[in-house]
Amino acid sequence: MRGLLFTTWMLTGAVLMAVDQPEHPQLHMALNAHLLANKKSYFGSAPFKPIAPTEYRAELVDLNADGTKEALVLMLGRYWGGTGGQTMFILKGNPKGFDFVSQMTCVRAPMAGSVCVTETKSNGWRDIAVRVSGGGAQQKYAAMKFNGRKYPLNPTVMPVMTDWPGTNFVLISGDATAKVLAPGAYYFTGILGKTMKVQMPLNVEKGLVKGSYYYEKYGTPIELKGTLSGTRLHLSEYGKNKNATATLRMQMDAKSGIASGQWISADGKKTFPLRLLRVATSMQRHADTANKSDLDTEFPKLLAGAPATVLRPFNSIISKIFLERFQKANKEFSEIEDDERPYTYNDSADISYFSTDLISILGSNYDYTGGAHGNFYNFSVNLWSREGHLQELKLSDLFSTGTRWKDALGRHLKRALVKREAQWVLDGSMKESDLANHSIFTISPAGVEFHFAPYAVGPYAQGDFHVVVPHAILRPYLHKTGPLIRWAK
């Protein structure tokens, strides 16, 4: 009789799948088969309405190390949850489909870190840590251990773990995957549509993704937010009014570093192919001194997008700059007396532009060495490769000698900073000549961007200022064979 019911469901499900397109058809059928059998045992021949793919979230992960992935299925809607949380099913994968294993209640989702599939095991299956209380430092998890047949039903009655689960497998509204990108910063270049070149910096943390992208034709950043689930990258694009203007859906291949998919307008009327190449990732270093001072640095490592003969020297100089800063800070902080307050030092970096011969990086530093507050400042790294020679660019390298580029630059920076009410520019403490000699700049298709940290052009309370000087302003003064001539048209 069960076989007959399952066959009947398969026929019904085939029609449903044609309409709703479940991501995992075998799982979709197995889930509905389980729900049908369960309903039959309680209500006999009462009508059964198959559940739609939109009524659950599913992620696949190998829980028992047999090479076949199991399914974590988070049920959505009021019928499957309440104030205590939602129901989650666990189904065992096999060559022909999936079999029901366990049911869990009180899964607090959608919520970042609701469920973690940990590295520890019980009876050959991974332990599952379910969030049961709190947020931030108060966050607590219950350890759900496989007993040889199933997992426990209710996490709220299980012992609370003494520590947070250590794992990369995190359930976020049904996302329990090993992420194709580890936490950190990444940079992509690629093509949108047939010919439109784009560049995209992204930061990944616990499956959440933030960043931006710009069209190389214009250089204006467009905000992105989204999620990373396994190999799937799903981003929403936001305009100036903070409304979503498009969706970017891609599949990421870890080995090649290629992400391919579609850009879809908010109204669904426009769709363009999108193909990206991961050209950089981030390297991290950490140190603790004897007096517990905390030091971190993070800097780009170029992976692709240019010949190896270019990437190697680029990477060599970038790492040298950041590691020398890190080692100097480590030495200075290590000399602090033990009874002094621990210090904090953090360097990070963002790529502004990448090409086969030019890379522009904005370095940011936060340090706390006592006093009322920590300090923020910027530094920049602009590298240009020309005819086998790698040059670290100074501002003057961008312009032809004998031209009045400083006058034009100073005027533009002053107008922009006065408009933004930078106090020391308003009161005349900072002159046009001072602004034109500012050495912290990055390069992109939008222009040359100057970065003024707190205290540079105003008091700390005013924060930092970033001013883009368009290439059109600089065009008459550019070095005829310099790095910016590519944007001179």
Of the three residues 51, 68, 87, the one that is the final residue of a domain is: 51
Residues 214 and 239 reside in one and the same domain: yes
Q: How far apart are CA 217 and CA 215, in angstroms?
A: 5
pLDDT, tens digit, 9 for 90 and up, residues 106-145:
987 655 567 888 878 999 999 998 888 765 445 688 999 9
- Exposure pattern of 448-462 as b/e (b: 16+ CB <10 Å)? bbbbbbbebbbeeeb
Specify the pLDDT at position 137: 46
Mention every residue, 6+ apart, whose C-beta is less than 8 A from residue 403.
Answer: 476, 477
- Rounded to whole angstroms, the Cα distance separating 136 from 126 reads 25
Report the range out of 55-64, 164-173, 392-401 with the highest average pLDDT.
392-401
Judged against a pLDDT cut of 50, whether residue 2 lies above it is answered with no
Are both 79 and 123 inside the same structural domain? yes
pLDDT value, residue 84: 81
Compute the mean pLDDT over every residue in the chain, rounded to the nearest whole number: 87
**18 occurs within a structural domain:** yes
Residue 284 falls inside a structural domain:
no
The structure tokens 């093509």 sit at 191
Q: Of 51, 69, 84, which one is at a domain's C-terminal end?
A: 51
Residues 193 and 170 in one domain: no
Q: How far is CA 345 from the centre of its chain?
A: 23
174, pLDDT greater than 70: no
Domain boundary among 152, 177, 202: 177
Same domain, 30 and 73: no
* CATH code at position 255: 2.40.128.120
Q: Are residues 378 and 412 in the same domain?
A: no
Higher pLDDT, 166 or 204: 204
Q: Is residue 74 within 8 Å of residue 109, measured between CB atoms?
A: yes
The domain that holds 404 is classified in CATH as 3.90.640.20
Residue 327 domain boundaries: 289-392
Measured from the Cβ of residue 114, the count of other Cβ atoms closer than 10 Å reads 25
Question: Is residue 69 domain-shared with residue 173, that is, in the same domain?
Answer: yes
Q: Do 387 and 410 reside in the same domain of the chain?
A: no
Contact 380, 325 (CB under 8 A): no
Average pLDDT over residues 414-427: 96
Q: Which residues contact 482 (CB under 8 A, 6 or more apart)?
A: 397, 398, 399, 400
Residue 19 has pLDDT above 80, yes or no: no
Q: For the chain, what is the domain count?
A: 5
Mean of pLDDT values over 291-311:
89
pLDDT class of 359 with cuts at 50, 70, 90? very high
pLDDT for 173:
43
Tell me: pLDDT of 100 over 80. Answer: yes
* Residues in Cβ contact with 172 at an 8 Å cutoff, skipping those fewer than 6 apart: 109, 110, 111, 112, 113, 114, 206, 207, 208, 227, 229
User: For residues 168 and 113, what is the distance between their CA atoms, to the nearest angstrom?
Assistant: 10
According to the model, what pLDDT value does residue 196 have? Answer: 97
* CATH classification at residue 343: 3.30.565
Whether residue 308 lies inside any domain: the answer is yes
Alpha carbons 145 and 142: distance in angstroms, whole number: 9
* Cα-based distances in Å from 450 to 104, 189, 443, 465: 54, 23, 9, 8
Q: What pLDDT does residue 171 have?
A: 53
Residue 435 within any structural domain of the chain = yes
For 248-284, how does the pLDDT look when each residue is reduced to its tens digit (9 = 90+)?
999 999 889 999 999 999 999 999 999 999 999 999 9
- Does 352 score more than 90 pLDDT? yes
Same domain, 333 and 388: yes
**Confidence bin at 9 (pLDDT 50/70/90):** very low
Q: Are residues 43 and 80 in the same domain?
A: no
How many Å apart are CA 301 and CA 367, to the nearest integer? 23
What are the phi and psi torsion angles at 408 (to 5°)? -65, -40
Whether pLDDT at 1 is above 90: no
In this structure, are 260 and 301 located in the same domain?
no
For residues 92 and 170, membership in a common domain is answered with yes
Residue 162 has pLDDT above 70, yes or no: yes
Statement to judge: residues 414 and 342 lie in one domain: no
Residue 297 lies in a domain: yes
160: in domain: yes
Buried b (16+ CB within 10 A) or exposed e, 355-392: bebbbbbbbbbebbeeeeeeebbbbbbbbbbeeeeeee
pLDDT digits (tens, 9 = 90+) for 29-77: 999 999 998 887 766 676 888 888 888 888 888 899 998 999 999 898 8
Of 16 and 313, more confident = 313
**pLDDT confidence band for 170 (50 / 70 / 90):** low
